[in-house]
Amino acid sequence: MNPYLEVMRPGLCLMSIIIPLSLFLHFGFIDIKQILFTILSIFFINLSMSLINEYMDKDTDSFIKPYKPIPSGKVNLKVISNIIDLSLIFGILFLIILSIQYGYVYIIFGILAVVSGFIYNFFRERTLLGNISLGLSYLFAILLCTYPNEYGIFIGIIFSILTITYNIAVQIEDYVGDLKAGLKTFPIKYGIFTSRIFGILLSIIGLIMSFYINIFFILSFIMVIISYIINKKELYNILLRKITRILMVLGFLYLVIR
């Protein structure tokens, strides 16, 4: 894969289109302009946040994932910086257009999502506050697609919980590299055992709530719980980074036919 395409995280880019579109279809939105401006805003803001995360994690990745595009030197950091700037500008621009035409509540949700993403990426302390901030960024993104439907808040909270538990599991996997890079994550601050217990308990809460959505959200939380329990890295990567993400997308797609 082209290193510039790889660093943009094409899977997450695709999710930033599929998930909003699924929510719009589920809640019966028919205004094409609103759908288009919202998806474009989420797509570009998500792209900028993903690239910022890749850039900020370059020291950690140099220890545990030196093959990735930035630590391996396969991409030019100046080019990445320019893409970040342009993506953020386009994302906010579409957000402003959306807000002018459909109400300023949308720019509030959008700015809160951006601020939450910045808190996670720019603060080197990614403990409980950082993980909550990451979860909130996805919650506000979902509110952009579902406002004023109250059920959208419920879906957003569940997806926020799933994001937090998923990310703490990833932090456990990255423990050694994060420690060498001087990063303060949840597992580094509270220990791996405590992180596993916390992640499992939070996942159980999300799992119970998911019974009010669909089976794919339930399975997503089950996969996360299993990933906390097992210690085999290869199986862990398959369950968490591949199967869980697929189940997340299927969970939102299933909403369309409900």
Whether this model's pTM surpasses 0.85: yes
- Count of beta carbons in the 10 Å neighbourhood of residue 193: 10
164, amino acid identity: I
Specify the DSSP class assigned to residue 248.
Answer: H
The DSSP output letter for 180 is H
Q: Which range marks the domain in which residue 148 is found? A: 3-257
| DSSP-derived 3-state class of residue 213 | coil
* C-alpha of 47 from chain center: 11
Integer Cα distance of 238 and 244 in angstroms: 8
> What's the number of domains the chain is made of?
1
Q: What is the DSSP string of 143-170?
A: HHHHTT-HHHHHHHHHHHHHHHHHHHHH
Q: How far apart, in whole angstroms, are the C-alpha atoms of residue 146 and residue 249?
A: 17
Per-residue pLDDT 10s for the chain (258 aa) are 799 999 999 999 999 999 999 999 999 888 999 999 999 999 999 999 999 999 988 878 887 788 999 999 999 999 999 999 999 999 999 999 999 999 999 999 999 999 999 998 887 668 888 999 999 999 999 999 999 899 999 999 999 999 999 999 989 888 888 888 788 899 999 999 999 999 999 999 999 999 999 999 999 999 999 888 886 666 666 667 788 889 999 999 999 987
- CB neighbour class for 211 (10 Å; exposed up to 12, middle 13-18, buried from 19): exposed
Two structure tokens written together for 254:
């299933």
